[in-house]
Each structure stands twice: as C-alpha cells, then as structure tokens.
Structure 1
C-alpha cells in the first residue's frame, strides 16, 4: 500500500492522546456520603472487570478512528502497476481528430462536438495538479504547452474541422515529443479511426504510456470524390486543344449514376460530362477544350454529391506558354534541317549561333539547345552546356563524323557521356525504337506491327555504358546505341550516333525525325505539378529565382499571405511553406507586385474513404502493448484509473465513522448500571 500524501502520517502521533486519557483518567469524581457503604462496595467489586473491558474497547475505538482519519488525509492506494505513482502527478495527452470525416453526424450531433465533450469529461477525472496537452491534426505549436484544466477547456472549444491529414503513428509520435519527466503518462486518442488514419503497419508507443483509444461512431454515408486529374497535352499552347483526364472514385457500396462533371477555367465553363461510377470502383474521362490565351490558368473540376462535399471539387493550375526558345549551335553552315524544322512553327523562337561565336551568357534564356556538326568542340562549351542541362535545360547532339575523335571524346566526357570507341562504316538499319517513351506519346494512333526505321551508312560506336540514366530511344543491331537519352541533374542530353548529313544516313529525311525533335523540344519545358495537397506537400517548385537582399517572395490568396523559405536546387527553386497553408484555393507567388506563378491547394482525398478499423484490428496493430479500446459512452477515465490503482481514502473515512460510532455505543450502552 502506498500513500499519495505521506506527510500526513506524522499526525499518527496523535494516537498518544487517547492512550494518555486512558492511563490517566482525568474524570473528576463527586463524593457522596452514605450511612452504610457495604452494599456499594460489593457492587463495585462485581463490575470492575466489565468496566476495564469497556475502557479498553473505547480506547481501541478511539485509536482506530484516529488512525483511519489520518490515513484518509494521507490518501492510501493499492497500485496494480509498480511504475505508477499518483503522488508525482500525471501528464495527460488528449488527441482530438478534427479531420473532415469528424464532421459526420450521429444522434449526438457531429463527431467533433462529441469528441470535444468527451475530452472535457476525461480531463475532469484527473487531479487539479495534473497537467494536460492537447493535440489536433493541425499540430499547432501552442498546443505543445502543458496547461491546467481551465485552459485546456478553452483550447478544446477552439478546435475546428481542418484539412490537415495525419496518421495514427504521427499522432502518437507528436504526443510523445513532450517529456513527462517523473509524471505518470496518460494518452487518449478520440477518433473515428478511418483505415487511412490507422494505416496498415504496426504502431509503436512509449512503454510507460497508458494509452486509451476512444471510438466515435458515425452513420455510414455514401461518397463519390473527384480523386485526381492529369494532362495529356505535352505542352500548353495558346489556342491549341487541351486534354485533361479526370478520375472519380466511389468509396461506398452504392453505384453512382449520371454524376455531372463540370470543368471551369478562369471561372468559365469549358467542359461538361456525365459519368456512371460503379460501387467501390473508379472511372476516368477525358475533358477536351481549346481557346486559351497565354498565361497562368486557374481551373477546377467539380461534381455534385451529397452529403459529403469537401472532396467534390479539385482545383489545379497550369501555364499556357506563349513560345519556346530554341538555340541551334551549328558547325556546318550548309546544314539547314534544324532551322527548317523549328522555323516553320511560330511557337518556336529559333536562334542560330555559329560554333565560332557562341555566347555562353545567353544559354539561360533557352529551353533547348541543339548542337550539330561541331568541328572543334571545346571544353569550355562542354562546361557551360553541362551547367545548362543540370539546371533543367535539354540538349541534343548530332556529331560531325569527320571530327577528331579524341577531341570529341573529351568533349563528351566533359558532359558525363561515353567517349567514342570507333567509327563504323557498315550500312545498317535501326533495329528497335522505344515507342513507349514519352517522346512518342500521341505520335502514333496505334503502335504499328512493323515500323519503317532509319538507315545508317556511318556512325560512331560509343563505349559501353552501364549508367542507369541511359535510355536507348533507338538501337542498332548488337545493342549499339543510335539515339539515346541521358539524365544529368534536372535536365537531359540526347546523343545521336550519326550526323544529319544525307551521306551518313537518312535520319534527317525520315518521317520519325520531325516528331522526335518536336517532342524533345516540347518536353524540355519544366512544368510544375497541377496541384498540391494540404498537409502533405510542403515544398513547392518554381523556375530558378534570384533575389536581392531586400527582396522577398509572398504567397497570397485573398487576405491570406505566406512567406515561404527559399531553397535553391539545380534548375529550380524550392519554396518551403511548412504548415502555413491550411485552406484550399489558388495561391499566387508574388515578387513585389509581379506574379511569378500560380499554385492550387486541395484537401487530402484520404478522408474520402469512409471505412473504419475495427477494435480487434486496432489491438493487433499495437501488438503486446496494453491499451484500452472503448466507445464514447464508456466512463473511460475511471476505468483506466481502476486498472492502475485503487484509492482507499473513502474506505478509511467509512472505517473512521464506524469506530466513532462504536465508541459512542460503548459509552452509552455497554455495562450500563441500574441502581
């Protein structure tokens, strides 16, 4: 048996008082004179033994009453866990799930309101000296402070539905960031325990944590969500046709029929469709439209589905580019294939530089650089070109087969490309072409069984390369590379084994040449993601930015403003926003008053799945960890207390009253004299 306030045991010394009273009877006697005391003396002798017994019983009653009174103030308890000590106080972690699914209702109202009421009831069961810590999906810093009950109740009242989405393991890890010290640790998790929240992996927690899971039961609701969207257009050009694929998912056992799907771009309706979504499945549909002008586009695809509506709209942004800058560095003035190819389309802004007059400082203004027929490729050009590619640019190299191979090999190695081994004069036909590459997306309506491939009269044989970044677009017999792609930093380099001259092969006249170069150019544009997810994506991407010491960037949406932290990487700038964005919508990146880019943020679709984890499965995820799983109607706090210790102070008060009553009865009725 242990004592919560052991200092009160000092007052047990007070049991000396009734003992002293018993030993030194301070009762004052009154003398009564009788003529004959013979009969009185006989009565005294007859009752002396009973009188002594009575006094001893009264003494024991007083001593025991005093002992149990002192023990009641010392708060004795019996502990079932030797690690639990009530005298040190407790740290109580309470997590309230405020995700979108907690907005569901049952007979008690919304699940969130029920969770807030239950959290207050749990906190009331603890001592005024205990400390509390509140956790929600927002992971707010102010919730990391330990507070008393009054302040905790105020924090609980302020909890609202949030778009942030966490896992059960993340919540438990967050609760344990505060050191409990010598305090007893209690953790309560109030949630509906969606499957996506619980996860599929084993969950770890602190060994000394008394963990309790409180399930809040909602009514099962049908739900169809706009799951995702992606673009089929390789590049967004003014006035050109745009193709976006939207995906709807049905999370319930009821089929959805005739679901209206509407696409708005800059608040103007661009496409409309109706879809049937089978129970428990997903469907996709392609939305096609055109007529966009250059600039950033703010779009949203939406459906109508009740009663859950938070996932009925998906916002996204994309940029319609006014043009693409292409630089041609030529070592052969007679070569016209590249200029003729890109000059025929107004979308491409073509610049030609002779090999003898290359302006390296202008490289950053282009998305694609094509090098052909270089006679004396220098190491300086290799260095500048490598920096250009690492920063996100694309380059295509068509060699001059009459160049000095040693010099050209040195140039290639400066770009981390394989050197030339030999020059082959065998007439060969390209053996394979990778039609699954993104360079040939939308080029063929269907993949032909036999494809007419280019012929080669002369070509370089490059050293065998085991680099994982190499991708053979076209191959010659015996596995020799004819046209390959190499990843380098944030960009890519395309290396041809043959030149564009007619005597070296027919690649420049072959039908595959035009779509190949066009797709290389179009895929050289770095596009940012169509949308981001709140609480999941904290790093945004944008083009390479440079700021003066007095400049800063701002993300704004209406009255909301976020100051991101800049992180520079090759070819792009990353914007770290932490958890500052909590509301869905469109956000513009501003440098002073100039709009640099536009971003869309949406709620996580993890909350759309209204399937929940059962109690049995919950316990399995925690393995051998001892925990309590109960419904919201259970007096969970009292149950957990009883599992850890049993307080005896009430029993002590009862026993004290019993012995006081025994003393009174002994004085009044025991050995009562009748004369």
Structure 2
C-alpha cells in the first residue's frame, strides 16, 4: 500500500491524546468506609467492572476512529498492475481488405468496425489509426469521423507488421497500445511477428456469418475459330454454393450474353462465343457474399498479323512456311549471312533453326529483343558448338546444354497446363502418338519443361521474363534426326510460340503484381502516355524501347476496370485491370495464431480493460467509511453500555 500524502501520517501521534484521557479517567479510587453500606458491596463491584469495560471500548473505538481519519487524509492506494504503460499512445490497425466486405450479424464487417470505433472511443481520447491505404496520426473521433465512414476497401492484403513498422517509424521509442481489428483472413505468423505479446496488444476479430462465396477467377480464350473466339470463364465456389449463379458478359456497357452457373464442383467453366474483333468488357456475376470478385475485366485486341523471322537454311525453314501462313503471320526466311539486323526489332518471334555457329552480334541483339518482349525459338544444330549455344542461353536464364548423345529417345510427356497447350487439348490423352529423336543434347537448368523424354529430361523447355519468351529444343527437328515434323504437335507448338500477347489474346492485368506491358508506339523525348477511363487516370512508369514503349503499373490503378492507353487523346491500346483474388476464400480465417494476445469483442472493452489495469485502487474511501463506523460504535457504546 502506498500514500499520496505520507506526511499526514505524522498526525498519528495524536493517538496519544485518547490514551492520556483514558488514563486520567481510569485513575485509582480512594476507599471511604461507611457503616451501613455492607449490603451494597456486591452491586458496587459489578458497576465498577462494567464501567472499566465501557471505558476500554471507548478508548479503542476512538483510537481506530482517529487513525482511520488520519490515514484517509493521507490517501492510501494500491499501485496499478499496468502502471508502466500509463503513458502509452493508442494505435489502431484497421483491416480494410476486401474480405472485410463479408457480412456479420450487424452488417459488413468493416462498416461495423468503423461504427464501433466512432461510438465507443471517448471524445477526448487521442489515437492514431492506420489502414492498408492511409493513416491518421494523433487524432480523435470527431476529427476523422467522415474519413472513417468513407473508408474504401483495398486490394492490398492486411499485414499488421508492416503497418506497425509505419507507426514505429513515425514515432520511434514511444510506448504504444496496439488494437488490431481484422477478420484474420490469410493472416500468418509472419504478419504478426513484430507484435510483442508481452506488451498491450488487443485483437478484435469480427466474423462473417456466411462464409460461402463465388468468384470470377479467370477469363481466357479457349479456342480461336475463323471469325469467332470461344471465351472460357472460370468460376470458383468457396464453401457450399446452394443456388445457381447468374453470369453476364458485357462488351462495354452492352450486354452480350447471359447464362446460369450450376455448381457440381468447386470450380466451373463456362464458354461464350464472341466475334473476332476488339472487345473491351467484363464478366459479371451476382452472389450474396463478397462483391469485389464478382467482376472480371478483360480486353481483346483485334488480331494483327505477327512478324516471324526464321534464320537458317531456307530448305530447313520450308516446314515453317507451311505453319506460318499469310492469313495470320508475316513470315520471313533468311540465311544467316543475309540477316538484316535493323529489321530484328520489328519481329514478334525469331527462330534460330539449326545454326552451327551463332555470331556474338546476333546473340547480343537477341538478348535485347527478348528483354523488350520478343519471343525467341532455339533449335540447335546436331553438330553445333555446345559452348556457343550456352553463350546464347546465358542471356535467357541458367539453362545449359550438354554434349549430344547418339541415342534414340522417345518424347512421352506433354505439359498440358503450359501456356503453349492450354487451348490445344480439351482433355489429357494417354494414347497419343509421341515423336522421337535419334540424337539429342541434354538440357538442364530451371527452364520449364514443355515436352519431355521418357527419362524426364526436356525435349522442349521455356523461360520467360513476363514480357518475352524463349523456347529451347534439345535436339534438331529435321526429318533425318526426328519425326517431330510429322507429329500433330508441330503446328500448335510453333503457332503458339510465335504469338505476341500484345497483338493477340486477352489483356487482363492483376493490380499489385507489378506487371508490364509493351505496346507499339513512337514517343518524342518529352511525350508520355496516360492510362485512363471515365472515372480515373494515372501515368504509369514508361520506358522507350526504340519503336515500342514498356509500361509498368506497380500498384496502380487503385480501382479495377477497363482502361485505355492514351497518347495525345489517341487510344493506343485498351487494357483491363482486376483485383487479386487473394481474399475470396473466407474459410481461411487463421484465428488460432492469436492465442498469445488479448482478444476482445469491441473497442469499449479495450478501453475499459486499459483503464482498469492502469487505474490505482484508491483506499481513502474505505477509511472514511471506517471512521463513520467507529463513530457510530462510539455512540452505541455511550448509549447502551452501562
């Protein structure tokens, strides 16, 4: 027990006064003898004894009364259990990721959390509030009421450790009471590693009542016909999808098609047929859970002919001219000595067909071509220089070729999920007539296998820098060395290797994945392109690559939708952006990792808990009550004790 005014305890010496008074009243009586009081002797003795008891009771009562009064003025108290953190500042970390769109018993989780803060935070309470998209420092509920109520959902995942680092950077070496409001979706131990469980950390975990959710996962071209595209739309159901889901396809604001999705499995794929021309729209569904993943935006550019250059002997390039027809490609075959280096950057794909020696100038040009988004296909010569080939491959990752062996090898494995074959096979096949080679190099490294031999080594592998692709064969495919030219695989393999994603296919970029896009355009030194739609615009990072521009988007735009790349009011290309689907599965709530922290159900509970732990136990009231009790005891003794 401690005292706010311990100097008042010196007044306890006043307790001597009642003692002195008592001793004065209890002085010895002088005996006086009388003749006729013998019969009163017993009565007198009893009265004297009773008087002594009464006076002792009064003494102790007055001593306690005076002691309680003096101690009450000294204001005794017990020290608060958490007094060391009394000067802490309040920091609230609020999860506004898309999973907080889920509905709890009182509405959307984020809106309910905001209302909880506004209703239960004292008006004079200073605090800092940080979300994934913004921060409010040293504020109060009145100041940020409108901003809080207008808080938008964010595609950025909620990472408490990152937000706490921002708070520490803003105010280092300052004690903090941390209140984390999150639904704990996708939360892992790394995200809370910087939270000290020995310090005041409170978690408020609102929970969704309905964890079932349907999301549009992806849109792709499943098949290309003469005048039409078949569009594949993949829907994913998280939890049990009891009802059919309405699916609509829009081109701009115009409804193109509509159907129902019936879920017999967790994933369902629907097919739409659209004309083979520019398409700038989205797929939309309706479900009663999260809304951010109900729309998937995508753009398709009317197919342009891809430029393909094959470098090698014209006789060996002849089979390629039958694949790259005039309908879809501008195909050129060139001997090595006749290559026009100035025309290489205008190509979409360059095929090196069995070159015995590749000049260093060509190697340097191909590396630059690949970095700018071009596709490179390498078919080694059976008697080529391994060292020369590896010098070329060093610019495309860590793939290497080892010396060729004269052993027949059967090609037995197809990577059906590889982008080259995603739209080729309707289903996996086991009775395929696989080709073979008589002589082959051994390809090693991290390149992704596309076709493999029976010994699991690659016959064809690929690597990508997310702009361009490189495809590496481990064997020559001339008819003397292989029957691959007679295989049904030859056409889709080479056809798809020459496709430029900027000229064909779907453009749908995921926000926050720092993807890049290369478009054909000429810019002067001071010119820039803008990405815009009717509601927003921004200037992406851009790099001029001769007659092309490389655009990098980072975390922009903030809102998913259909946009256009514009130069001086001229639309260069349509592009679409989508939110990542990382928040769609509401069953990924990882609340178990919070067992070392204090979990509460509301902000008011947090404030009450902090107040109770940091408020000293005042005891002076009890001593005042004790004073009154002893005062009443004295009165009772005076009146009733004889």
Superposed counterparts of 1:613-632, under 5 Å: 618=591, 620-623=592-595, 625=596, 627-632=597-602
Are 1:328 and 1:371, in contact at CA under 8 Å, matched by a contact in 2?
yes
The 2-side partners of 1:274 and 1:468 are apart by 42
- Note the residue ranges of structure 1 that are not aligned, 5 or more in a row: 24-49
Task: Quote the offset at 1:348 in angstroms.
Answer: 0.3
- 1:133 corresponds to: 128
Which of 258, 267, 281 aligns to 1:283? It is: 267
Is 1:542 the counterpart of 2:512 in the alignment?
no
- 2:122 corresponds to: 124
The 1-side partners of 2:2 and 2:580 are apart by 50
Q: 1:390 to 1:115 in 2, by over 3 A?
A: closer
The 2-side partners of 1:378 and 1:308 are apart by 56
Task: Quote the offset at 1:89 in angstroms.
Answer: 1.6
Superposed counterparts of 1:9-20, under 5 Å: 9=5
Q: 1:175 to 1:355 in 2, by over 3 A?
A: closer
Are 2:564 and 2:573, in contact at CA under 8 Å, matched by a contact in 1?
yes
Are 2:249 and 2:284, in contact at CA under 8 Å, matched by a contact in 1?
yes
How large is the Cα RMSD of the aligned pairs? 5.0
- 2:79 corresponds to: 78
The 2-side partners of 1:111 and 1:399 are apart by 59
Which of 306, 314, 317 aligns to 2:299? It is: 317
Is 1:175 the counterpart of 2:164 in the alignment?
yes
Residues 339-389 of structure 1 deviation map (CA, whole Å, 9 limit, x = unaligned): 3442x3321012343432322232221111123465764232233223323
Is 1:336 the counterpart of 2:315 in the alignment?
no
Aligned residues: 588
Give the TM-score, by structure 1 length. 0.70
- 1:247 corresponds to: 235
- 2:332 corresponds to: 351
Residues 123-162 of structure 1 deviation map (CA, whole Å, 9 limit, x = unaligned): 329xx5x6412133x341x32x2335654x5367435351
- 2:196 corresponds to: 206
- 2:616 corresponds to: 647
- 2:253 corresponds to: 267
Is 1:491 the counterpart of 2:469 in the alignment?
yes
Task: Quote the offset at 1:323 in angstroms.
Answer: 1.6
Q: 1:367 to 1:207 in 2, by over 3 A?
A: same
- 2:498 corresponds to: 521
Residues 561-617 of structure 1 deviation map (CA, whole Å, 9 limit, x = unaligned): 334345899x99462444x5443322333344344544434455555545585xxx8
Q: 1:422 to 1:268 in 2, by over 3 A?
A: same
Task: Quote the offset at 1:543 in angstroms.
Answer: 1.5
- 1:256 corresponds to: 243
- 1:360 corresponds to: 341
Which of 588, 593, 599 aligns to 2:569? It is: 593
Are 2:301 and 2:503, in contact at CA under 8 Å, matched by a contact in 1?
no
Are 1:370 and 1:396, in contact at CA under 8 Å, matched by a contact in 2?
yes
The 2-side partners of 1:549 and 1:70 are apart by 81
Is 1:301 the counterpart of 2:283 in the alignment?
yes
Residues 384-412 of structure 1 deviation map (CA, whole Å, 9 limit, x = unaligned): 223323444333345666xxx57x54542
Are 1:95 and 1:188, in contact at CA under 8 Å, matched by a contact in 2?
yes
The 2-side partners of 1:77 and 1:176 are apart by 36
- 1:432 corresponds to: 411
Residues 88-108 of structure 1 deviation map (CA, whole Å, 9 limit, x = unaligned): 522122234445565566775
The 1-side partners of 2:568 and 2:189 are apart by 46
Q: 1:107 to 1:261 in 2, by over 3 A?
A: closer
Q: 1:159 to 1:15 in 2, by over 3 A?
A: farther
Q: 1:442 to 1:77 in 2, by over 3 A?
A: same
Task: Quote the offset at 1:632 in angstroms.
Answer: 3.9
- Note the residue ranges of structure 2 that are not aligned, 5 or more in a row: 18-53, 394-398
Give the TM-score, by structure 2 length. 0.73
